[in-house]
Amino acid sequence: MSTTLNTQKKSDNFKKLIIAASVAIPLVVAVLFKVKVTGVDFGFLPPIYATINGITAFFLVIALIAIKRKNIVLHQTMVKLSLVLSLLFLACYVAYHMTSDPTPYGGESKVLYYTILISHIILSIAVIPLVLFTYLFAWQGDFVKHRKYAKIAWPLWFYVAVTGVVVYWMIAPYYK
């Protein structure tokens, strides 16, 4: 009985941590966007973080194919790499925006650009708890919940990764 209670307590703690991270990450990013660091030029980062998004999307496809082929080890590796790349993207993205002025979109397809950008931003916030809970359920061996969440988390995470590249392609001509 004691082991079951300890396991449940750990699970509850992880769930609280995921919820806290899911709230804290977007708030911290929003606050950091207001901070401007001068004297540092990270203008080289946008093509790098767009590439990171592209690689993340590629790894997510490999992860999906791997699990459909029951290659669990490859699936786990690709998901872990995708998580690391997503964190690296976030660090690069925030570093760039803390050190650079915003780049206005100057193209003719403003409605399309802002539709993609806004959906990308909103879903990048929504995907945080979905991905983390999906990962937690797999880690705990609850593959019923893992699959249920993955059916929502994977396409959203993939969309966020791909639209990150699309947003970069659309705004790249307007960088100074």
> Exposed/middle/buried for 69, CB within 10 Å: 0-12, 13-18, 19+?
exposed
State whether residue 20 is helix, strand or coil: helix
- Furthest-apart CA atoms within the chain: distance in Å: 65
The pLDDT assigned to 5 comes to 57
Higher pLDDT, 88 or 6: 88
pLDDT in tens, 102-128: 889 998 999 999 999 999 999 999 999
pLDDT in tens, 37-83: 889 999 999 999 999 999 999 999 999 999 999 999 999 999 999 99
Indicate if the pLDDT at residue 144 is higher than 80: yes
Percent of the chain scored above 70 by pLDDT? 95
The pLDDT assigned to 29 comes to 87
In angstroms, the CA 33 to CA 100 distance is: 10
User: What's the pLDDT band for 7 if we cut at 50, 70, 90?
Assistant: low
User: For the residues 2-7, what does the mean pLDDT come to?
Assistant: 59
